[in-house]
Amino acid sequence: MYFAALLARTEDGWEASDTELDDVETLSDLADLAREASPDEDTVLVLIEQEDSWFGVVRVDGEDDPRIYVSDAAAAARSAYGELLLTDELLGREPGADDGPDLDALDLDGTEDGESEDGDEEEGAAADAVPHSPVGDSEILDDLGIGEKELRALDADDALNSIAEALGASEVLETVR
């Protein structure tokens, strides 16, 4: 179970709307959805919470690239919605790198260099592992009153409410919950 909401900053304060992510396939789609919520190109926050195990914040300011923060990358990686947020860049991987093995570099019979491939596979798996820690822009909400330290200290089961409260948007968020 997940919850997703858009918080759009307007001249009258924050406006909230719940959103379904079923038709969103890429981060670009998510950013476009956020931009549609604010015709004046104001700040829009996409808040996503997955079963109290992780939360994510995507910030879209006008036509700027989205900024992302995910509280637990490993937990998010097990979720279709988390996978939207966990870009190669966010995880420190080479963008567009092929996830599969390089067929030209494989030792298919294990006899050429006399070593088993087990060590190589473990090293590759460790390099591709997703960390059980926050990833992304931990200063995403600094100018809105939530510093890096506060953001990292948030508990996944109440993070979105805490963020909304700090923004002065808890009542509008509660209306879409």
Name beta bridge partners: 176.
none
Which residues touch 96 (CB under 8 Å, ≥6 apart)? 88
This prediction's pTM: 0.80
Give the pLDDT of the chain (177 residues) as one tens digit per residue. 889 999 999 888 999 998 888 889 999 999 999 999 887 888 999 999 998 899 999 999 988 999 999 999 999 999 888 888 998 888 888 776 555 444 444 444 554 444 444 544 444 444 457 888 999 999 999 999 999 999 999 998 899 999 999 999 999 999 998
